[in-house]
A and B are shown apart, each in its own frame.
Chain A
Amino acid sequence: MFLDWGSITSYYGLLLQGAWLTIVITLASFTLAAIVGVLVAAARASAVAPLRWLATVYVEVLRNTPVLLQIFIVFYGFPSFGIRMTAITAGILGLGFNVGAYLAEIFRAGINAVPRGHREAATALGITPLQSFIWIVAPVALSKVFPAVTNMFIATLLGSSLLSVIAVPELTGQTNEISARTFLTIEVYSFSTGLYLVLTLGSALILGMLGRRLFPARARG
């Protein structure tokens, strides 16, 4: 077996570009997912029954079908309704909608974990429900589920590789491309595997530090 590490040096730039696109896609999808998650969690707690049902169906369908399929439906299926978009947009939407379903459930669990007394004390102090949610319920809930949210961020990062299937040149896409062109398969895949590990372990490290800073143990109930 002969590994030619020297020859792939000229492709580092392309692979790093791919990694950068992976980061951008991850951040965009996760932002979308957070918004979807908050809205769906709110809908599931709504007093309006049809809204609750709709949110439940959303969560169950998105969590029980493959995310790749969801991306395909957005990219290949939506044009049937006259909705056309680039592959990268479709991928971000598909991934974001999917992760949003998981985040909705995580947020819901977090809100349920906020002690009832917190809300009662707020009410007794004359704090309005909206203020109570923003200043008390949301931060306490987030502190309880921050590790789960961190896991979902990493799942989003890993899931972004699926965009390569619809020809988005993110890290996995670039890796396939270069591997097919150069036959330096082992070398290229090893390098990209290393990049992914840096990204996932790095995210875990940064988010872990952020979590300890935002929600120190002493500030948890």
Chain B
Amino acid sequence: MPILTLRNIHKRFGSLEVLAGIKLAVEAGEVIAIVGPSGSGKSTLLRVVNGLEPFEQGDVELDGQSIRAPGNLAAIRRQIGMVFQQFNLFSHLTVGENVMLAQRLVLKRDAKAAEERARVLLARVGLEDKWNRYPSQLSGGQQQRVAISRALAMDPRVMLFDEATSALDPELVGEVLAVMRSLADSGMTMLVVTHEMNFAREVADRIVFMDQGRILADGTPQAILDAPEDARIQQFMRRLAER
């Protein structure tokens, strides 16, 4: 059984249909890269998965539990971690406090357990020495690695990455991708909205290509990237190559 299932999701902003019947099944341990032109609904889809964005039709299920069932939303959110394009670290809290806060408030861990967990995760992304720093004192790449640790501290079963490297200076992209890669290697289930085609090719098990709120293609990286059948995908790949 898939760990995460999206059933025929429809979402509208006014007259614009941003998601026009999205169906997707994600197996445990799978890494799925979601690619496509901007405005195709990729980010909206991620935000729908953990309930940040309301949607009109369809359903999201985690382990067969519907996000629409009363009381389920909070439980599902807790099990899905999210990493944002703009990091969204809490500016008034130190690195350590950022990683500890939700553990204490949501999982009700005691201070010691939360700190232990936070230190392990920060060490894993190479930032254990930044414990007392504030976000404003870190580079973008470091902030994003803290944000990943913050999400992982909740022991999520699925991680969502919403253009996690798009706001970074080019020289800082690599350090964040490396963290994401090792996370994928450790068996984490991941949905990754990205423009980094090399990352998608090397790390993803499947690539989902979206355009105008629909899934145009869903298959192995080789199938989607090397021999795309759809004309729109071919055009998209050409534009990327020209950049």
Chain A residues with CB under 8 Å of chain B are: 115, 117-118, 120-128, 131, 135-136, 139-140, 143, 215-221
Please indicate the chain B residues that have their CB under 8 angstroms from the CB of A123 in the complex. 51-52, 77
How many residues of chain B are within 8 Å of chain A by beta carbon? 31
Please, what's the 1-or-0 string for B88-117, where 1 marks a CB less than 8 Å from any CB in chain A? Answer: 111111100000011001100000000000
A79 CA to B147 CA, complexed, in Å = 58
Please, what's the 1-or-0 string for B137-151, where 1 marks a CB less than 8 Å from any CB in chain A? Answer: 100000000010011
Whether the Cβ atoms of A221 and B86 lie closer than 8 Å is no
- Expressed in whole angstroms, the minimum distance between the Cβ of B119 and any Cβ of chain A is 18
Q: Can you name 21 A-B pairs with beta carbons within 8 Å?
A: A117-B84, A117-B87, A118-B88, A121-B82, A121-B147, A122-B102, A125-B77, A125-B82, A126-B74, A126-B154, A128-B74, A135-B105, A136-B92, A139-B92, A216-B134, A217-B136, A218-B137, A219-B92, A219-B136, A220-B91, A221-B91
Please indicate the chain B residues that have their CB under 8 angstroms from the CB of A125 in the complex. 77, 81-82, 101-102, 106, 150-151, 154
Contact flag A220-B77 (CB < 8 Å), given A117-B86, A124-B50, A125-B154: no
A124 in complex: contacting residue of B52, B87, B136, CB < 8 Å: B52
- The residue in chain A whose Cβ has the minimal distance to the Cβ of B135 is A221
Whether the Cβ atoms of B136 and A126 lie closer than 8 Å is no
- The residue in chain B whose Cβ has the minimal distance to the Cβ of A216 is B134
Please indicate the chain B residues that have their CB under 8 angstroms from the CB of A127 in the complex. 101-102, 105-106
A126 in complex: contacting residue of B86, B91, B106, CB < 8 Å: B106
Please indicate the chain A residues that have their CB under 8 angstroms from the CB of B134 in the complex. 216, 218-219
Whether the Cβ atoms of A118 and B84 lie closer than 8 Å is no
Whether the Cβ atoms of B136 and A120 lie closer than 8 Å is no
Please, what's the 1-or-0 string for B51-89, where 1 marks a CB less than 8 Å from any CB in chain A? Answer: 110000000000000000000001001101110101111
Whether the Cβ atoms of B88 and A220 lie closer than 8 Å is no
A135 CA to B78 CA, complexed, in Å = 18
- Expressed in whole angstroms, the minimum distance between the Cβ of A193 and any Cβ of chain B is 39
Contact flag A126-B92 (CB < 8 Å), given A117-B86, A220-B136: no
Whether the Cβ atoms of B91 and A140 lie closer than 8 Å is yes
Whether the Cβ atoms of A120 and B106 lie closer than 8 Å is no
B78 in complex: contacting residue of A126, A131, A215, A216, CB < 8 Å: A126
- Expressed in whole angstroms, the minimum distance between the Cβ of A201 and any Cβ of chain B is 28
Whether the Cβ atoms of A121 and B84 lie closer than 8 Å is yes
Whether the Cβ atoms of A221 and B150 lie closer than 8 Å is no
Whether the Cβ atoms of A120 and B151 lie closer than 8 Å is no
Please indicate the chain B residues that have their CB under 8 angstroms from the CB of A121 in the complex. 82, 84, 88-90, 147, 150
A123 CA to B51 CA, complexed, in Å = 9
Please indicate the chain A residues that have their CB under 8 angstroms from the CB of B150 in the complex. 121, 125
- The residue in chain B whose Cβ has the minimal distance to the Cβ of A143 is B92
B136 in complex: contacting residue of A118, A131, A135, A218, CB < 8 Å: A218
B90 in complex: contacting residue of A131, A136, A215, CB < 8 Å: A136
A218 CA to B130 CA, complexed, in Å = 14
Whether the Cβ atoms of A219 and B77 lie closer than 8 Å is no
- Expressed in whole angstroms, the minimum distance between the Cβ of A210 and any Cβ of chain B is 15
Given A120-B84, A123-B77, 8 other A-B residues pairs in contact with their CB atoms under 8 A: A115-B91, A124-B50, A125-B106, A125-B154, A126-B102, A135-B101, A220-B91, A221-B135
Whether the Cβ atoms of B84 and A126 lie closer than 8 Å is no
Closest 4 pairs (CB-CB, A-B): A221-B91, A117-B88, A121-B88, A125-B102
